[in-house]
A and B are shown apart, each in its own frame.
Chain A
Amino acid sequence: MIADRAEDEEKWLAAGMTGLQQNAFHMHRALDSNNLRDALKYSAQMLSELRTSKLSPHKYYVLYMRAFDELRKLEMFFKEEARRGCSVIDLYELVQHAGNILPRLYLLCTVGSVYIKSKEAPAKDVLKDLVEMCRGIQHPVRGLFLRSYLSQVSRDKLPDIGSDYEGDGDTVVDAVDFVLQNFTEMNKLWVRMQHQGPAREKEKREKERSELRDLVGKNLHVLSQIEGVDLEMYKETVLPRVLEQVVNCKDEIAQFYLMECIIQVFPDEYHLQTLDVLLGACPQLQPSVDIKTVLSQLMERLSNYAASSAEVLPEFLQVEAFSKLSNAIGKVIEAQVDMPTIGVVTLYSSLLKFTLHVHPDRLDYADQVLGACVKKLSGKGKIEDNKATKQIVALLSAPLEKYNDIVTALKLSNYPRVMEYLDNETNKVMATVIIQSILKNKTQISTAEKMEALFELIKGLIKDLDGIPDDELDEDDFKEEQNSVARLIQMLSNDDPEEMFKIICTVRKHVLTGGPKRLLFTVPPLVFSSLKLVRQLQGQEENPFGDDLSTTPKKIFQLLNQTIEALSSIPVPDLALRLYLQCAEAANDCELEPVAYEFFTQAYILYEEEISDSKAQVTAIHLIIGTLQRMHVFGVENKDTLTHKATGYSAKLLKKPDQCRAVYACGHLFWVDDQENMKDGDRVLICLKRALRIANAAQQMSNAARGSTGSVTLFVEILNKYLYFFEKGNPQITVASIQSLIELITNEMQSESTTPDPATDAFFASTLRYIEFQKQKGGAVGEKYEPIKA
């Protein structure tokens, strides 16, 4: 059916085009031979093609455009005729002899255009005559196109201010009257379409109306282009008369479209100065009109205008734009009881953006808007509609985008109340938006109180809402969101240590409720933020009165101990061990021996009880050795205990090479460069010799198990340790011992049972080169190395 119709339509259009072109051809010949009679005859026949009722507006437009172009040639001819002395008045009379009314009126408009141009009669009289005569066509589609033709040919001949046609009693008032009259008639034709034809064709009719709408709206555009339409005239004449037509036509489609046109075609300052009138029309529209979109468009325009320049802001204040818009919205929402949530939120979102742009200093306005929104949402429970929640996110993001500062948004008491209406998923999206804003703007949250408020807003990311873990969450999404929380915690800072401590306590309180999956992400940054505070306090004199209330490193360390303990629920012993060691080092720098010892103890317990994987053990033991080596706070007894343990752990590692490397690393525990009482050459040597024995044993094991001794890498590594301590002046490391180690390696490398290994060869060769290099340096170092024969 539909396909048939479209096909038929194509045929009708083609037939119309052929008829039109044939007559146009004859018209051209008549024009070329200056035959006025024939020109009129063929042009009228040509225009008869526009009398069809078979075409949809779209197709009719194609035909109309073709006729329009042809009429321009006729118009040129009329101009030439007039120049040749033919009276335009006679022409104007002559064309009225055309038999059919539609061609007659097209011809009349065409001559009318030349008539006005000739200035033989006042423009206003010709325009008035034409616009009245067009009443002769009452068929909506034909009438709309005819009037559209009139509008187009008269477009540059209106007696506008500064135009050629002004003066001699012709004023801009006449121009405006003419366009308004044409507009009113066109709108009537357009609205009438709705009520013609059978009810079952409503959809088709509305589609056709929608295609025709710009013909009607065009008049408003013409009005907006008239120079003489200043604010005064817009306010007194144009807007009231346009709105009168809009309201009185009582047609939903026309009202919605024309309101949109008014908002889009006239300048911003006109809207501002006539807000009362424009908003006053809204409640008078049909209840089915989508007023929320109309108002949103208006507010969006005005927001953009406000954002364009600070100079225009006083205008907004002067007309009290905010309260007017706010009232209008309230009335609309009240009147349309069935307005869906998305409509309500869209309206408030537009109003909020408006007030943020226009009254950035009036936070109370913004809060007022949010409060009104909460009021409307209350009783509806969590919002299910996807689009509505998106609008809420837009609503809540607006203050962040405007102020680039969450702290300002935290002052809005209704902000968290709006968030309450978001479902858990969207709540998280909003929380992420908030955190991103903080990170991007490096916002400092200066008090524990504000931090508390912030965590209230982002609680969706901090813990399982409703106590139910969300199992369906994508792993990567979860990591992403928790990483952003981690970054937020990491960037906490405050110059006042007391407040910072309170902030940390607040964050800690919330973070610890997060459950094992989140702690993994949130505890490390919390620990480091706390340590940052320790560093801040370090070096400050301790309060001599021992005031319990003031923040001391000791207090922070106590808190840290408990914080890290929380990780045992996951469990992640290797992470906890690293954090304990980090704390121990900080305690060391604060000269707090018992605290540092306690952290080490915790780390050792984890090592002994929790870390059983041999790879993890190797990593852990090297971390322990490294940290312990840097400790200076320990007395002999504590130091001995911890060192003894560490060497014990080293010797008990599973793989011989791991044992060997851990044991020679322990050598460093007995030799600290900048501490004279920490240079125990004997024990260094014991470690190195023990490492050598283990390396030997490793080779033998390899020989027994595989038939080859494996590489000599361990020996070369040990040789390097020998050289290190030799250079550092350890008296126990002698030239002879180095010499014999070199020989040992050389022999081993030549032995047939040794597996050749180019990397080890290169390592050894560069070690020997280093010895040569040190020799050549001369001076004390050169002298020291001189006896070694490489």
Chain B
Amino acid sequence: MPSRRRTLLKVIILGDSGYVNKKFSNQYKATIGADFLTKEVQFEDRLFTLQIWDTAGQERFQSLGVAFYRGADCCVLVYDVNSMKSFDNLNNWREEFLIQASPSDPENFPFVVIGNKIDVDGGNSRVVSEKKARAWCASKGNIPYFETSAKEGINVEEAFQCIAKNALKSGEEEEIYLPDVIDVANSGQTRSTGCEC
């Protein structure tokens, strides 16, 4: 029986550019705190429940801080392909996440990067090329990269599939509390750096 803890995944979405779980709208609407949603994803024969904390985009009200970063299984970084600043900020977001969430193995923590709004103005206003984005992802330990359109949310599903796949690979090593449950035979296995999709 698959471990319950490995089919329940906590995902944090960060970045200057919003979307993913929100319906895209040009209308400005501030977000207060993080938006919390659950989503079920089928990967291979397993059903994963993702708890998604989405704070990407718009102005942030966060009077209580970011304690919700802790215990995350994956962090999705979103930027707007039409805004260089949002791309430049990915690094800040990544570092801020690693500091605040302080995962046990920051080098191999699974991130996913999403380039958003590729369809705006028929792609004419795009300023961050796919190549540039992929190069950045490669430099940060082969972070999987996806591009999504604002209107239709294409590839969002693939991104979530990837998160599930990542979790399946790295899931065996997540037990932290009380060492007597760790399977000694598994402890020597090589760590993955994220999926290749």
Mark A residues whose CB is within 8 Å of B.
21, 24-25, 28, 31-32, 57-58, 61-62, 64-66, 68-69, 72-73, 76-77, 152, 155-156, 210-215, 217-218, 220-221, 224-225, 261, 264-268, 301, 304-305, 308
Contacts and interface: CB of A to CB of B under 8 A. Distances in A.
A265 B32 contact: yes
A768 B72 CA distance: 88
Given A213-B63, A218-B32, A156 B8 contact: no
Given A25-B177, A301-B28, A65 B4 contact: no
A24 B177 contact: yes
A51 B148 CA distance: 44
Contacts of A305: 28
A301 B58 CA distance: 13
B70 A65 contact: yes
Given A28-B5, A76-B49, A218-B33, A69 B71 contact: yes
A73 B32 contact: no
Of residues B7, B36, B177, which shows the largest number of chain A Cβ atoms within 10 Å of its Cβ?
B36
Contact of B28 (A21, A220, A268): A268
A308 B26 contact: yes
Interface in B54-83: 59, 61-65, 67-68, 70-71
Given A25-B178, A32-B4, A221 B62 contact: no
Contacts of A69: 10, 71
Most chain A CB inside 10 Å of its own CB: which residue of B4, B35, B37, B70: B4
Nearest to A305: B28
A215 B36 CA distance: 13
B27 interface: yes
Given A24-B177, A156-B37, A73 B8 contact: yes
B183 to A, nearest CB: 14
Contacts of A220: 32
B29 interface: yes
Q: B49, B61, B62, B70: which has the most chain A beta carbons within 10 Å?
A: B61
B108 interface: no
18 contacts: A32-B3, A57-B64, A65-B67, A66-B71, A69-B71, A72-B10, A72-B49, A155-B36, A210-B63, A214-B33, A218-B33, A220-B32, A221-B30, A221-B33, A224-B29, A261-B61, A267-B27, A305-B28
Interface string B143-186: 00000000000000000000000000000000001100000000
A293 to B, nearest CB: 15
A156 B31 CA distance: 16
A213 B62 CA distance: 9
A308 B4 CA distance: 48
Contacts of A213: 63
B142 interface: no
A264 B30 contact: yes
B104 interface: no
B64 A61 contact: yes
Q: Which of B27, B28, B30, B38 neighbours the largest number of chain A CB atoms within 10 Å of its CB? A: B30
A621 B51 CA distance: 88
A627 to B, nearest CB: 55
Contact of A264 (B7, B10, B59, B62): B59
Given A32-B3, A261-B30, 6 more contacts: A72-B10, A73-B5, A214-B61, A265-B30, A265-B31, A267-B29
Nearest to A79: B49
B172 to A, nearest CB: 16
A229 B29 CA distance: 14
A304 B28 CA distance: 10
B52 to A, nearest CB: 10
B29 A73 contact: no
Contacts of A212: 63-64
A224 B35 CA distance: 12
A570 to B, nearest CB: 50
A610 to B, nearest CB: 59
Interface in B1-56: 3-5, 7-8, 10, 26-33, 35-38, 49, 51
Contacts of B4: 31-32, 73, 76-77
Contacts of B32: 214, 217-218, 220-221, 261, 265
Contacts of B61: 214, 217, 261, 264
A72 B51 contact: yes
B26 A265 contact: no
A727 B7 CA distance: 100
B71 A61 contact: no
Q: By CB atoms of chain B within 10 A, which of A58, A66, A152, A220 has the most? A: A152
A365 B67 CA distance: 49
A68 B8 CA distance: 13
B177 A21 contact: yes
A32 B5 CA distance: 10
A156 B21 CA distance: 12
B36 A58 contact: no
A212 B33 CA distance: 11
B29 A265 contact: yes
B63 A66 contact: no
- Top-9 shortest CB links A-B: A264-B30, A221-B32, A214-B63, A65-B67, A62-B67, A217-B32, A61-B64, A218-B33, A152-B36
Nearest to B38: A156
Nearest to B72: A69
A25 B64 CA distance: 27
Nearest to A69: B71
A26 to B, nearest CB: 10
Contact of A58 (B27, B35, B65, B68): B65
Contacts of A28: 5
A537 to B, nearest CB: 51
Nearest to A210: B63
Nearest to A70: B71
Contacts of A218: 32-33
B68 A65 contact: yes
Contacts of A66: 70-71
A106 B8 CA distance: 19
Nearest to A225: B35
A261 B4 CA distance: 38
Contacts of A32: 3-4
A451 to B, nearest CB: 42
A224 B36 CA distance: 14
Contacts of A215: 33, 64
Contacts of B178: 25
A152 B32 CA distance: 12
Nearest to A309: B26
Contact of A214 (B8, B10, B62): B62
A565 to B, nearest CB: 57
